[in-house]
């Protein structure tokens, strides 16, 4: 059976909310919630963290070492290279890409996307090509061969920084699929990029408790009973970070295949 490895990208140097991955949420670092939620998914063989090799990310590496979470350190800006090298390090056949700014991840959603991927000979499956899940439940899964091709061919800064745009741009090269929810929940924002996002997440944990067993349905019920919570971080562009990368795009390099 293919070795399915979740790689959670994490770094302290966020431009919009520096240090967010170690921010306190219900008495624990934000990244701790992400790791523990991912570990509850049944269709993952291994959960790992990929951080940068900069001194500022020593704290992330120390967090992983203390908790026996496998981790890899690589390029801060070339996240695609970081993923590729981490996939090699952990002998991943299939990679599940998660991010450390999503402390409301639902392991059942992760399993749903992985299960869909395993039904056919897909190169890439996600639940955000056409977004119907809340922002912050994003799950991408792809073959190591697709990652290797992207690593070798992608040469735009946005393609290197955001890992999977090269794959999604070329449906003629890769077999892609999207997992849709039966209703459109894309208006909900459950990720942490800005201070108001962090406040929203803290309020959710304040109501539902630090135990990471609650999932998407419990959060939706909470928001129906407390609609004012959604107003905390409403109206933020979910693709602001990628759009910024596109505005600043430039050709950075072309790898020579070995």
- Which pLDDT does position 16 carry in this prediction? 87
Helix ranges, 67-213 (H): 79-89, 107-117, 144-153, 157-161, 165-169, 195-208
Given strand 140-143, what is the order of strands in its sheet? Answer: 71-74, 46-52, 4-9, 94-99, 140-143, 124-126, 176-178
Q: Does the residue 23 lie in any domain?
A: yes
CATH number of the CATH domain containing 150: 3.90.550.10
Q: Does the residue 256 lie in any domain?
A: no
Q: Does the residue 254 lie in any domain?
A: no
Residue-wise pLDDT for 177-205, tens only, equals 999 999 999 999 999 999 999 999 999 99
Q: Residue 175 phi/psi, 5° resolution?
A: -85, 105
Q: Does the residue 109 lie in any domain?
A: yes
Length of the chain: 258
Give the containing element (helix H, strand E) for 63: helix 58-66
- Which pLDDT does position 237 carry in this prediction? 73
**What would the mean pLDDT of 66-77 be, rounded to a whole number?**
97
pTM: 0.92
Q: Total domain count for the chain?
A: 1
Q: Does the residue 117 lie in any domain?
A: yes
Residue-wise pLDDT for 28-71, tens only, equals 999 999 999 999 999 999 999 999 999 999 999 999 999 999 99
Any bridge partners for residue 166, and if so which? none
Name the nearest CA neighbour of 189 among 234, 227, 128. Answer: 234
- Which pLDDT does position 238 carry in this prediction? 64
């Amino acid at each position: 059976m293919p070795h399915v490895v979740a790689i959670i990208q994490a770094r302290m140097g966020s431009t919009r909310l520096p240090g967010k991955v170690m921010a306190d949420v219900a008495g624990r670092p934000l990244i701790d919630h992400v790791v523990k939620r991912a570990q509850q998914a049944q269709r993952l063989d291994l959960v790992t963290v990929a951080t940068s090799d900069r001194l500022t990310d020593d704290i992330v590496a120390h967090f992983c070492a203390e908790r026996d979470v496998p981790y890899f350190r690589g390029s801060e800006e070339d996240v695609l290279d970081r993923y590729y090298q981490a996939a090699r390090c952990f002998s991943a056949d299939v990679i599940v890409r998660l991010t450390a700014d999503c402390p409301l991840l639902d392991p059942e959603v992760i399993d749903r996307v992985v299960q869909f991927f395993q039904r056919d000979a897909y190169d890439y499956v996600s639940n955000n090509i056409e977004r119907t899940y809340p922002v912050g439940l994003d799950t991408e899964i792809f073959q190591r061969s697709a990652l290797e091709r992207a690593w070798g061919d992608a040469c735009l800064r946005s393609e290197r920084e955001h890992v999977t745009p090269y794959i999604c741009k070329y449906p003629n090269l890769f077999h892609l699929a999207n997992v849709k929810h039966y209703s459109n929940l894309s208006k909900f924002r459950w990720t942490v990029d800005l201070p108001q996002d962090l406040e929203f997440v803290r309020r959710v944990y304040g109501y539902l408790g630090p135990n990471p067993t609650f999932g998407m349905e419990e959060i939706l019920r909470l928001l129906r009973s407390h609609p004012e919570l959604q107003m905390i971080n409403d109206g933020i562009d979910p693709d602001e970070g990628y759009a910024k990368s596109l505005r600043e795009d430039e050709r950075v390099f072309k790898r020579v295949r070995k």
